[in-house]
Copies of this chain bind each other. A is one copy, B any other.
């Protein structure tokens, strides 16, 4: 394999930037910037993993017990963020949706069916082919997502 253009976990978005985007978004829609909303954004940002609403809620409760953030607020905020394209959701397994930050910072997913870990990657060749395909069909692509399921290196050793 020669010219490999694949990059893994190339995180580039700054939190400041993100927070500003969020604030602009809120202002633009006459919405308010609340502690809960900030904590949710922050928790999402500081999680490498993809979080379920439940997990996110739990993590917030542990870290900010005084807030008593309700699960409803988590759902409401995730919906808001998803509508605004600030987070993306992935459906994984039988049930449940997992959320991650940064739709702008596009990447695809390697999902280990043993441990549930999601690894992100971007491959230029695939991205290019996707555009070729949609162009060919006159399909106006707005987004795409790819998931590869299998067993990660670590889990293979343990089996």
Contact = CB atoms under 8 A, between A and B. Distances in A.
Contact of A151 (B8, B129, B139, B146): B139
How many copies of this chain are found per oligomer?
A: 2
Given A126-B129, A126-B130, A141 B150 contact: yes
Contact of A148 (B91, B110, B133, B151): B133
A144 interface: yes
Contact of A142 (B91, B113, B133, B139): B113
A8 B137 CA distance: 10
A31 interface: no
Interface in A124-159: 125-126, 129-130, 132-134, 136-153, 156
Nearest to A138: B153
Contacts of A156: 138, 140
Contact of A145 (B113, B140, B146): B146
A35 interface: no
A144 B146 contact: yes
B140 A121 contact: no
Contact of A129 (B8, B123, B136): B123
Interface string A62-75: 00000000000000
A140 B151 contact: yes
Contacts of A148: 130, 133-134, 139, 141, 143-144
A147 to B, nearest CB: 5
Interface string A114-128: 000001010101100
